[in-house]
Chain A
Amino acid sequence: MRFLICVIITGVFLLTSSVQAAMTSSHFELRFDSINSGGTDNSTSTNYKLYDTLGEQATGPSTSTNYSLLAGYRQSDDYRPFLSLIVSAQENNTQVPYTALSTSTKTVTVTLATSFATGTFIGVVENLGLHQKTIIGKIESINGLVLTVDKWDGQVDQISTNPQGGDDYVYRMEAFSGVFGRLEANVGKTTLSRTEVGTNSATGYTVYMQSDGYLRGSTTTHIMDVADGEVSMDSEEYGARVYGTLATSTGMDFAVTSTLREIQTSTTTATDDRVAIVYKINIMPYTPASNYLQKVRYLLTANF
C-alpha cells in the first residue's frame, strides 16, 4: 500500500512539473477558479445564447514566483489581457436644473430630460462654482424626469440630496471639450470631465493626466497655474481637482501641467472605474484678453 501511495505521489509531482501551457506555471495549471454565487451556465433563446457568470470575486490573472493563476469562471487558456479608457466632458448646452437627488436610489430628477438618453453619462453639480459638489453616473433608465444611473462616483458623501439656491445643475457628459466659455473677472467657473477604466489586470491600473502646456492664448500669454492648492477669487488661477474613491492627487486644486500626474489608481480588475475631474478657473480684470486653449491627455497603464 505504501508503495502504491509513493508511486501516486511521485507521478503527481512528475506530471505537474511538466505542464507548460498558457496561463500556467511549470508546476500548476488552473484553468477555472471562482468563488461564485448565482447565475446559470448558459441561457438560450431563439436567436441568442448567453453564458453568464455572477458573483465572482478576485478574478483575473495572478502570479507569484512559482504560480500563475487565472481566477474566475471561464478564465481559460484563451486569456486576453485588455485595457479600456474612456474620457468625456460636460456639455454646457445641456445644463438643466435638478429638483431632487438620491445617492441611495441613484436617481436625479431634472426639470427637462430631452438632452439625456440611456447609456450616456451625466454630471450632477451642486452650487455651481469653484466650491461646487460634483458626482457622475451613467444613465441606466429614464422615467419621465427621473434619471437613474448605474452608480454615483465623485463627491457622493458630500453632495446634498436637497438642492437649493438655484445653482444646481445636471449636464450630459459626452463631449471631448471642456469649455469654460466667456469669463468675467472674479466669477470663478468650472468644467467637468470624467474617466472610465476597464481592465482584466488583476493587479490593477493607473491613470495619469498631462497637458500640452499652459492654458494659453499665445506663446507668451497664459493663465497662471494655481500654486497655493486652491483656485480662488481675487487671483488669476487655473487648475483642477479629482474626486472619487479611486482618485489620487486629492484634497487640493493642482496645476494641469506637462508633467504626468497620477489621478486614479486601483490594485484590482475594473469594469467601470470612474473619477470626476473638475477644472477650475478665475480671472482678474487684467487677465489678458484672448481665447485660451489647452489639450489635456489622459493615459492609462496597466499594472500587469
Chain B
Amino acid sequence: MRGSKIRLLSFMALLSLAAAMLPANAGGVVITASVPSNGEIDSAAATGFATTTIAWTSSATYLTGATLQLILSPVPSSTDITQCSPDTTSIGGATATFGSASSSGATWTLTGDAATNVILICVRVPVTNAGSLISARNFSEAIVTTGGTVDYGAAMFYINGGNDVDISATVPASLSFMITDPASITTERHTCNLGVLNMATVSTCTYRLKIMTNATNGFAGSLKANHDFATLGFVTFTNVGDLQVTAGQEEYGINLTTSSYGARDPNTGLFSLPAYAWHPIANDYPVPTTLTGFVSSTYPFYVTSSGATQLVTHKASISPITTVGVYQQKVTYYVSGHF
C-alpha cells in the first residue's frame, strides 16, 4: 500500500514537471511608435497634448482581467497623460478599461479575452503650454502586461527634433571670365587680327571665351560691338547677310561655336552637358552693335579643356571694289551668373 502511494505521488510529481515544461507566455516584444511616424513629435494640438500610439503583436492571448501597463520614461510632464479622443486603442478585439492614468503612465484592464493580435495603445502626452511641446527632448513609452502573458518592450518618442542633427553648408558664389588664346586657355588674348585681306580666301582670326561659374542656374553671355567693322574714316565694311562669309564677296561676320560640354549634369555631377547657343553655330552673323545674347547655360559651368570654351571666329572677305583701309572694331563681352 505504501509503495503504491509512493508511485502515485511520483506520478503526480512527474505530471507536474511535465506541466511546468509547457511553454510560458512571457517575453520581450517589439514595440513600434506608429503615431506619429518614427515617434517624432513635431507638433502638438492647441489643447496641449500630442497624440501618440504604440503597437506590438501580443505573444499569446491576454485573458480577462489582465492589465496593460504603459510607462513613460523619463516622465516628460507633471500633467497626467489622457486617453485619446477619439480613442484608437485596439486590444486584439477585446475591450479594456482605461484607468490609473498618471504623469508617468496608465493602465488598461481587459474586460474580455484578447486573442493574439496587433495591439494598439493610444495616449495623449501633455505639453507645458497649449500648442507647444514639452521641453524634454526624448522619452520612451514602455508596455508591461500581466495576467498570464507577460509581454514587455518599449519604443522611443522624440520631441521637437530631439533625435535630429541638421547639417548645413554654404558654398559661396563664383563667376569668372577670360578671353584666351585659341591654343591655350590659360593665356589671355585681346586682339584678333584678320591680316591683309584678299579676294581668294576668307580671312579668319579666333579666340576663346572661358566662362566658369558655380551659379545654380548657370550664366548668360552677350556681346556688343562699338560700331560696325570700319576704318577710322568711317568707311564701313559690309556685314554678312546670307549667313555665310564667302570668298570674293565683301562680307564680314562672326561665328560662335559654343561648347559641347562644361555644363553640370544635376543628376551625375559631371560636366557633360553643352552650352546653349542662341544661334545655329554653323552660320555667320553680323557682329551686333546692340547688346545681344549668344550663349547661356542653366547649370553651373566648369572649364577643364578648350572643348568647354566658346570659340569665336571673325571672318572677312573682300571683293574688287572693297575700299582700301585699316578696318577695326571693338567687341565687348558680358557674362552674368544666374545664382
Q: A: which residues have CB within 8 A of B?
A: 2-3, 6-7, 9-10, 13-14, 16-17, 20-27, 61, 63, 65-68, 79-89, 176-183, 189, 191, 193, 199, 201, 203, 215, 217-218, 220-221, 223-224, 236, 256, 279, 281, 283-304
For the complex of A and B, 9 pairs with smallest distance between CB atoms: A304-B28, A13-B16, A25-B24, A286-B302, A180-B169, A82-B73, A83-B140, A81-B142, A304-B153
Given the interface contacts A220-B266, A304-B31, does A290 sit within 8 Å of B168 by beta carbon? no
Return the chain B residue nearest A294 by Cβ.
B167
Question: Which one, B148, B171, B264, contacts A290 given CB within 8 A?
Answer: B171
| A215 CB, nearest partner CB in chain B, Å | 6
Question: Which one, B9, B21, B156, B269, contacts A7 given CB within 8 A?
Answer: B9
Determine the main DSSP class of A at the interface with B.
Answer: mixed
Contact A177 B166 (CB under 8 A): yes
Contact with A along B144-174 (1 / 0, CB 8 A): 1011101011111010011111111111111
Measured between alpha carbons, how far is A83 from B141 in the docked complex, in Å? 8
Return the chain B residue nearest A287 by Cβ.
B171
Contact B152 A193 (CB under 8 A): no
B215 within 8 A of A: yes
B93 within 8 A of A: no
Residues of chain B lying within 8 A (CB to CB) of residue A303: 28
Given the interface contacts A6-B13, A289-B172, does A79 sit within 8 Å of B144 by beta carbon? yes
Contact B170 A297 (CB under 8 A): no
Contact B140 A286 (CB under 8 A): no
Contact B148 A20 (CB under 8 A): yes
Question: Which one, B2, B154, B212, contacts A82 given CB within 8 A?
Answer: B154
Given the interface contacts A21-B146, A289-B173, does A80 sit within 8 Å of B73 by beta carbon? yes
Q: Which of B127-149 contact A (CB under 8 A)?
A: 137-138, 140, 142-144, 146-148
| B219 CB, nearest partner CB in chain A, Å | 12
Contact A79 B152 (CB under 8 A): yes
| A280 CB, nearest partner CB in chain B, Å | 11
Contact B269 A80 (CB under 8 A): no
Contact B28 A300 (CB under 8 A): no
Residues of chain A lying within 8 A (CB to CB) of residue B26: 23-26, 63, 67-68
Given A82-B140, A221-B216, A286-B302, 10 more pairs with CB closer than 8 A: A23-B26, A63-B26, A66-B20, A81-B144, A88-B165, A220-B216, A288-B171, A289-B172, A302-B31, A304-B29
Residues of chain A lying within 8 A (CB to CB) of residue B161: 176, 295
Contact A13 B17 (CB under 8 A): yes
B234 within 8 A of A: no
Contact A84 B140 (CB under 8 A): yes
B19 within 8 A of A: yes
Measured between alpha carbons, how far is A198 from B153 in the docked complex, in Å? 14
Measured between alpha carbons, how far is A60 from B173 in the docked complex, in Å? 56
Q: B: which residues have CB within 8 A of A?
A: 2, 5-6, 9-10, 12-13, 16-17, 19-32, 38-40, 71, 73-74, 137-138, 140, 142-144, 146-148, 150, 152-156, 158, 161-174, 212, 214-216, 264, 266, 269, 271, 300-302, 339
Measured between alpha carbons, how far is A301 from B167 in the docked complex, in Å? 23
Residues of chain B lying within 8 A (CB to CB) of residue A61: 28, 152
Contact A178 B214 (CB under 8 A): no
Contact A10 B12 (CB under 8 A): yes
Residues of chain B lying within 8 A (CB to CB) of residue A300: 156, 163
| B173 CB, nearest partner CB in chain A, Å | 4
Contact A215 B167 (CB under 8 A): yes
Residues of chain B lying within 8 A (CB to CB) of residue A65: 23-24
Measured between alpha carbons, how far is A294 from B172 in the docked complex, in Å? 18
Contact B170 A292 (CB under 8 A): yes
Determine the main DSSP class of B at the interface with A.
Answer: mixed
Contact B73 A9 (CB under 8 A): no
Contact A285 B155 (CB under 8 A): no
Contact A285 B302 (CB under 8 A): yes
Contact B138 A285 (CB under 8 A): no
Contact A3 B9 (CB under 8 A): yes
Return the chain B residue nearest A10 by Cβ.
B13
| B69 CB, nearest partner CB in chain A, Å | 8
Contact A288 B216 (CB under 8 A): yes
Interface centre among A23, A191, A193, A288 (most CB of B within 10 A): A288
Residues of chain A lying within 8 A (CB to CB) of residue B32: 301
Measured between alpha carbons, how far is A80 from B142 in the docked complex, in Å? 7
| B61 CB, nearest partner CB in chain A, Å | 13
Measured between alpha carbons, how far is A301 from B155 in the docked complex, in Å? 7
Contact B13 A66 (CB under 8 A): no
Measured between alpha carbons, how far is A294 from B167 in the docked complex, in Å? 5
Residues of chain A lying within 8 A (CB to CB) of residue B173: 289
Contact A86 B137 (CB under 8 A): yes
Return the chain A residue nearest B160 by Cβ.
A176
Interface centre among B13, B29, B165, B300 (most CB of A within 10 A): B165
Residues of chain A lying within 8 A (CB to CB) of residue B144: 22, 79-81
Contact A201 B154 (CB under 8 A): yes
Interface centre among B10, B154, B167, B302 (most CB of A within 10 A): B167
| B300 CB, nearest partner CB in chain A, Å | 5
Measured between alpha carbons, how far is A299 from B266 in the docked complex, in Å? 31
| A88 CB, nearest partner CB in chain B, Å | 8
Show 25 residue pairs from A and B whose CB-CB distance is below 8 angstroms, ordered by the A residue.
A17-B16, A20-B148, A24-B26, A80-B144, A81-B153, A81-B154, A82-B142, A83-B154, A85-B156, A87-B162, A176-B164, A178-B165, A178-B167, A181-B170, A183-B171, A285-B212, A286-B214, A286-B301, A289-B216, A292-B168, A294-B167, A296-B164, A299-B156, A301-B155, A303-B28
Residues of chain A lying within 8 A (CB to CB) of residue B140: 81-84
Return the chain B residue nearest A238 by Cβ.
B169
Residues of chain A lying within 8 A (CB to CB) of residue B143: 81
